[in-house]
Chain A
Amino acid sequence: MRRPSGVLALCLGLTLTMAVTATVTAGCSGDGDRTTLRVLAGPDLAVLEPLLDELRSETGVELAMDYRADADTGEGLADEEGNAEGNEEGNAEGNTAGRSRAERNGGGRNGGGRNSDGYDLAWLSTDRSFRLRHQDAARGMPRTPTMLSPVVVGLRPQTARALRAESGTTRLSWADVADAAATGTVRFGMADPRRTGTGLAALVGVATAAAGTGGALREDDVSCDRLRGFRSGQRLTAASTRDLLDDFVARPGTANALITYESDLLALNSGGRLEEELEIVRPEDGTVLADFPLLLLDPDRRAAYDEVVRWLRKDSVQREIMRTAQRRPVNPAVAREGSLRAPVGNALYFPDRPGVLERLLDDYGDPRHRVADQVIFLLDFSGSMRGRRMADLRKAFADLSGADPSTTGAFARFHQGERLTVVRFGGRVLEERTVTVRGQEDLRNLADVVARGGYGDATALWTALDHGYRTASSAVADDPRRDVAIVLMTDGENNAGIAYEEFVRRYEARSAGTRTAVRTYPVHFGDADAGALRRAAAKTGGRMVDARESSLSEAFKEIRGCR
């Protein structure tokens, strides 16, 4: 079947004069002798710059890297695709928030075609944001992972010891980190999740652990913000990983932990910029990995793209990447070296709903401008609360003060900086006490208020709620950015003070600011009137939880972070 001999056909042409054999191959792949590809690049790729010269000399392909701080958000890419493939919108179906946003973004630009920016490839630390927010543009786009790094925690040795002592375990989890952040033991730096792949991966990791389902995050899991305690430990933030590391080094007293790529921590440890190396903790409950994908944006540059991909995944190049960037090779033939021999741990399932990401990011807010939250607990101290019910209430406060050892407890606990107001009421308001949490001492003071008996003889439910709104109004007036929530716990029906209608009348007379910012979360307990509580919740935009089937502890945990 073999073909007869004859003339060999090849495209050597101009490349003939070149000495490098690999260049000959590149020339023959159909893209001419020299090729330059414009690359939209994430800042985390800059560390590979030294390899790019080798790439050029060995394949004839030059990558012109345009590092953009926000590359990982995928918005720059979406602009590209929005321009180039605006005709794809006919395919859009389904109606996720992310997709409609993608269309707005794409359609809103009038860049006059792909060549306005002219990127041929994109090389990011992660394309998850892009794939979620711009599903149509991302669909079918060739992508090749080039290396791996998980987002993990680096701790100063002293902090690692303290954290282990506090959590009583050697196998640390995100829950342990969140718990220690809430108490102030861990003060961490993390890049802004709205702008960087690392920050987002860390946020998803922590939120997945907080939800504690073992699955990918769903809308239900993020309907309330469980990360307030964790967040209260953040001391450093930055718009890029590199800035974060620089800041961490320059201000050694500010933070004692870093949440970022394993590769960043390894580089920091070997870079001689720290007095003591950071201990790397790969949280027990799993991490999110980045795979640094190379994406082909312009299908016409496929041959050159394939060439680059082939080169990047060669054993020798993968080994060099590992040594240069401290990232894990994707090529299984390349043996791990040094610290990279440590097992990577379990990968968490990453959410596939754009709405989940948006919600997480909205809740996380701007790390630079944190305003402490306030919770106003309105607690029924009528006579019927004596005994068992009061014991439950005290336990619920103890649990929120750190006694609950569960994962959800670690995330839901009171945290430093948080303002807590306790109002005891019976036939009238008996006592109001506000603390700003700085340490366990403040939580003990709060526990004392709850422990200090003094029961009333009736239940002035709506008077108490009206009182709560007065306190909330002044908190909102002090700082309109402050999140205020009211928790209304009662075991009986209203039988004293103002009627519900009067409460509503006063509520509606309050400022619009108060009415939109402050919601009420009634806790149904004992013989309370569920219908009335549900009405109050609906009126104020809150939600009622039932503590009769579970416990006050569980009910309080369920509404922590809701607003």
Chain B
Amino acid sequence: MVGGPVRSRLRRTLALALPVPVIGLVLLLFSGHLALPLDRVVTIEAKMASKRDFFEDPEVRRILMEHGFRLNITRMGSRDIATQDVAGYDVVFPSGQPAADLITRDRAKAGHPVLTYRPFVSPIVLATYREYAETLRDAEIARAQPGGTSGGTSGGASGPLYYRLDMEKFLRQTSEGKRWDDLRIERHGVRNGNKVLAQTSDVCESNSGGTYLGLVSFVWHRNNAPRGLQEADAHARDIKDLLNEQGLPGSERAETYLSVDGKGIAPISVIYEHQFLAHQIRYQATHGKPDHGRVLLYPSTRFVTEPQLVALTDDGERLGELVTEDPELQHRAMELGFRVRDATSDSTSDRLAAFLAERGIQVPVTSADDTKAVLPRLPLLERMIQTVGECPPAQQDAR
């Protein structure tokens, strides 16, 4: 058994008898709130991947604190969350369904069924830079999304923020060994002799990597997901080179993409829509306009990821209920670019659309032409991940 903190779950409820000024100081430190009455603070031990973006947000932390929760977050990839021991944790929050399913299945098998919560969803996207998107557009691999519902500065002279990427054509570039220079990217003032491909996080570790693998396989096999073991193996072998062409995966994709040097070191990165939108919302708040250098490619074959908060303890369940039900937290999730479930309209994105439009940020639209990707059943996807990434099987064994 690997990993897992030896230090057991902390649930500190300690009496406090301190001089008044220190109490004030401590309250400030923990909540940024002076007049906060609390009877106890429950410290939740959590393992998360990209969705720690939500729980590390200061505003979310403040709201959780008001409800008596404090989180200790261990960061690791979603698949690592699932494949390593979860003992000692209250919740784990992998970024997508496959990793969550691995955990719930194993817990159920071990006689400890767990509850899961799905507070929001977010599509998998390819984040890039204007020059790259326009180069793909020249080659008729991508086309601009209609700027339709956007207000103010978006669209128009500064160009669209969103493009629709023909996945099949895009993957064909990779398989033919095309380089960015071959697509004449120099017409947009950039030179790049690297192969045309999207960089992903390690498929052995991350949900985005594994999901993109499923997406690529689906597209490459004419919109089919494998149904049996043999087919899964064959499909995995077919797409292995497409995905491994990038070599050793770098560190966290969104962070690298959003970094100052992102255009040079991660020009096309597979991330989640919320990571991009959160950046645009932040950028707009500081600069008064969206970041027109960074744009999104929506794959013509779409896949919406459903992060699942898996509660392993009673406290974990209370937290799960809270983030799913609490209007303040749901609103904040939307402000962080997530598509939240809307109780009134039964739509996950209407409120987000309105929120973006209010800020003059173009609203992404779904095209009627788009296909929805189907991922293979969990054991098959697991097997494909192991084949492509040459990674060890999930610790509790995938079958």
Contact = CB atoms under 8 A, between A and B. Distances in A.
Contact of A8 (B26, B245, B250, B395): B26
B205 to A, nearest CB: 7
B251 A4 contact: no
Contacts of B391: 139
Interface in B189-204: 191-195, 204
A346 B193 contact: yes
Contacts of B30: 10
Contacts of B77: 140
Contacts of A350: 247-248
A23 to B, nearest CB: 11
Contacts of A344: 261, 264-265
A25 B29 contact: yes
Contacts of B41: 8-10
B13 interface: yes
Contacts of A128: 248
Contacts of B151: none
A213 B194 CA distance: 8
Interface string A115-155: 00000000000001001100010011011010010000000
Interface stretch (A34-42, A71-79, A84-92, A368-376): A84-92
B66 interface: yes
Interface in B235-283: 244-251, 255, 258-261, 263-267
Contacts of A29: 72
B15 A7 contact: yes
Nearest to B23: A8
Given A214-B179, A344-B261, A11 B14 contact: yes
Contacts of A415: none
B27 interface: yes
A8 B16 contact: yes
A289 B265 contact: yes
Interface SS, B side? loop
A9 B16 contact: yes
Interface size class of A (residues with CB under 8 A): 35 or more
Contacts of B390: 93-94, 96
A9 B248 contact: no
A365 interface: no
Contact of B248 (A93, A143, A352): A352
A344 B261 CA distance: 6
A140 B205 contact: yes
Contacts of A3: 38-40, 67-68
A16 interface: yes
Contacts, number: 179
Given A93-B393, A140-B84, A140-B205, A214 B248 contact: no
A285 B191 CA distance: 9
Nearest to A313: B255
B72 A303 contact: yes
A343 B261 contact: yes
B211 interface: no
Nearest to A351: B247
B259 A132 contact: no
B6 interface: yes
A143 B75 CA distance: 9
Nearest to B77: A140
B12 interface: yes
A330 B84 contact: no
Contacts of A213: 177, 195
A534 B267 CA distance: 45
Contacts of B6: 299-300
A347 B264 contact: yes
A145 B251 contact: yes
Most interface-central of B16, B261, B326 (chain A CB within 10 A): B261
A24 B10 CA distance: 18
Contacts of B191: 171, 284, 346
Contacts of B205: 139-140
A504 to B, nearest CB: 40
A522 interface: no
Interface string A334-368: 00100000011111111110000000000000000
Contact of A139 (B39, B247, B392): B392
Contact of B251 (A9, A132, A143): A143
Contact of A91 (B22, B72, B258, B392): B392
A286 interface: yes
A328 interface: yes
Given A5-B37, A10-B30, 5 more contacts: A3-B40, A9-B38, A12-B18, A139-B392, A215-B247
Interface of B: 2-7, 10, 12-16, 18, 22-23, 25-27, 29-30, 37-41, 66-68, 72, 74-77, 80, 83-84, 177, 179, 191-195, 204-205, 244-251, 255, 258-261, 263-267, 326, 390-393, 395
20 contacts: A1-B326, A3-B39, A6-B40, A7-B40, A8-B41, A11-B14, A16-B18, A142-B74, A148-B259, A213-B177, A215-B194, A215-B245, A286-B192, A291-B251, A300-B5, A306-B74, A343-B261, A344-B261, A349-B247, A350-B247
The 10 closest A-B pairs by CB, nearest first: A6-B39, A216-B247, A5-B37, A349-B247, A347-B265, A91-B392, A214-B179, A344-B261, A352-B248, A214-B195
Interface of A: 1-12, 16, 21, 24-25, 29-30, 85, 88, 91-94, 96, 128, 131-132, 136, 139-140, 142-143, 145, 148, 171, 213-217, 284-286, 289, 291, 293, 299-300, 302-303, 306, 328-330, 332, 336, 343-352
